[in-house]
């Protein structure tokens, strides 16, 4: 019998279609047929040697060479076709760039609009065109995370910015237009609905219980131990109880930390190792998995202003199922792989990966 489950963070629903029990091999047609990729593609703007095809770099980890030349291991550049543009350096906040507060009166709310002020950058993860999160060393993965953390902190320094979204699209189905592995960072002048909703749910829970929803959830999931994919000193990876997408995962620091810009060195080390191990398993289960990865967190300055007890986390959303009318219309997703089955499949993949 199918089950309808409630997702405590997003307040959405998942219909877990238990009887279908789809395993990774059942999703073969949904995997992007990328085939074997070369280590370098002469036509790719993110490959070493083609640095001039991107805007000048704003951050890089280099072993040699000057800015905008080969010799980097991680490189951050502004997006060539940015979704939002930043206020020119030194320009005062005049009307043309000012983002008005979101109106609380009904009349004002009907047609609220603002200039598209913000930042849009690309973190090129590796010089290797065929790189992937499961293939990097932990040390390299940490450099990628450091690039993300430093750029986020710089963006939050701007008074124009309310929220910084870090995400990754991998595979055409997941919206990636370039194959070369990269993250994107978009800094928004508004607080987006997904964060408003999660923040409000954490706050509601806290005002009733005096505890953090995510901390409680981690404790409960660790006790039950049927949806814990990976656990180390500082992180847990879960198959969320109401996973709306097959093989969805949630990466959460075990200790309460509100955002990625707040993470210390030890947390960054363990996050790098956790991502690497999780994606090692994903990559052994799926040959070319289309997925989106989104970071959710708030720096304590923003958190305090709103009074939210935010707890940082990362969602990984594989794109193995088509989102259609039911999903768009009702926020309710049909998931043909129960999170408990997904956890068992991961356990198998994790073992074989560790053994090699």
Which residues in this chain contact Zn ion in the complex, by CB under 5 A? 41, 44, 46-47, 129, 180, 212, 214-215, 256, 296, 311
Give the number of other CB atoms < 10 A from CB of residue 333. 22
CA distance 156 to 162: 7
Cβ of residue 49: shortest distance to Zn ion, in angstroms?
10
- Quick one: 47 or 349, whose CB is closer to Zn ion? 47
User: What SS3 state is found at 182?
Assistant: strand
Cβ of residue 170: shortest distance to Zn ion, in angstroms?
14
Give the number of other CB atoms < 10 A from CB of residue 254. 17
CA distance 81 to 89: 19
Q: Residue 198 is inside which H or E element, if any?
A: helix 193-209
- Quick one: 43 or 89, whose CB is closer to Zn ion? 43
Beta strands in the chain (DSSP E): 3-6, 13-16, 59-62, 72-78, 119-124, 163-170, 182-188, 228-231, 235-238, 249-253, 291-296, 313-318, 332-335
- Quick one: 44 or 263, whose CB is closer to Zn ion? 44
Cβ of residue 244: shortest distance to Zn ion, in angstroms?
12
Cβ of residue 161: shortest distance to Zn ion, in angstroms?
19
- Quick one: 159 or 301, whose CB is closer to Zn ion? 301
Compute the Cα dihedral for 175, 178, 182, 188 and give only its sign.
negative
- Quick one: 47 or 164, whose CB is closer to Zn ion? 47
Calculate the alpha carbon distances from 4 to 16, 247, 301, 333 in Å. 6, 17, 37, 9
Yes or no: say if 200 and 226 are a contact pair by the CB < 8 Å rule: no
Yes or no: say if 50 and 41 are a contact pair by the CB < 8 Å rule: no
CB burial class (10 A; 0-12, 13-18, 19+) of residue 183? buried
- Quick one: 18 or 165, whose CB is closer to Zn ion? 165
- Quick one: 22 or 311, whose CB is closer to Zn ion? 311
CA distance 15 to 338: 9
- Quick one: 129 or 143, whose CB is closer to Zn ion? 129
Cβ of residue 171: shortest distance to Zn ion, in angstroms?
15
Cβ of residue 275: shortest distance to Zn ion, in angstroms?
16
Cβ of residue 288: shortest distance to Zn ion, in angstroms?
16
Distance from the Cα of residue 220 to its chain's centroid:
24
CA distance 18 to 39: 40
Cβ of residue 250: shortest distance to Zn ion, in angstroms?
8
């Amino acid at each position: 019998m199918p089950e309808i489950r409630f997702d405590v963070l997003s307040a959405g629903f998942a219909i877990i279609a238990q009887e279908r029990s789809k395993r990774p091999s059942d999703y073969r047609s949904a995997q992007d047929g990328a085939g074997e990729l070369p280590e370098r593609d002469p036509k790719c703007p993110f490959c070493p040697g083609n640095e001039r095809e991107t805007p000048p770099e704003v951050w890089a980890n280099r072993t040699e060479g000057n800015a905008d030349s080969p010799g980097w291991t991680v490189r951050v550049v502004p997006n060539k076709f940015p979704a939002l543009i930043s206020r020119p350096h030194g320009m005062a906040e005049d009307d043309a760039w000012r983002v008005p507060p979101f109106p609380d009166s009904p009349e004002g709310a009907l047609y609220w609009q603002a200039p598209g002020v913000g930042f849009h950058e690309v973190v090129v993860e590796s010089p290797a065109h065929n790189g992937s999160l499961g293939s990097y060393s932990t040390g390299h993965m940490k450099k990628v995370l450091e690039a993300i953390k430093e750029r986020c902190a710089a963006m939050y320094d701007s008074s124009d910015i309310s929220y910084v979204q870090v995400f990754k699209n991998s595979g055409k189905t997941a919206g990636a237009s370039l194959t070369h592995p990269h993250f994107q960072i978009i800094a928004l002048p508004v607080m987006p609905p997904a964060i408003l909703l999660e923040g409000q749910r954490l706050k509601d829970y806290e005002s009733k219980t005096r505890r953090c929803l995510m901390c409680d959830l981690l404790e409960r999931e660790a006790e039950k131990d049927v949806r814990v994919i990976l656990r180390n000193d500082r992180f847990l990876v879960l198959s969320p109880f109401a996973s709306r997408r097959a093989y969805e995962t949630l990466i959460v620091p075990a200790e309460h930390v509100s955002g990625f810009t707040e993470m210390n060195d030890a947390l960054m080390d363990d996050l790098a190792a956790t991502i690497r191990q999780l994606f090692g398993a994903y990559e052994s289960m799926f040959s070319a998995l289309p997925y989106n990865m989104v970071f959710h967190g708030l720096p304590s300055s923003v958190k305090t202003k709103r009074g939210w007890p935010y707890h940082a986390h990362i969602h990984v959303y594989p794109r193995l199922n088509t989102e259609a009318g039911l999903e768009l219309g009702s926020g309710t997703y049909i998931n043909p792989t129960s999170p408990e089955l997904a956890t068992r499949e991961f356990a198998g993949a994790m073992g074989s990966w560790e053994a090699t």
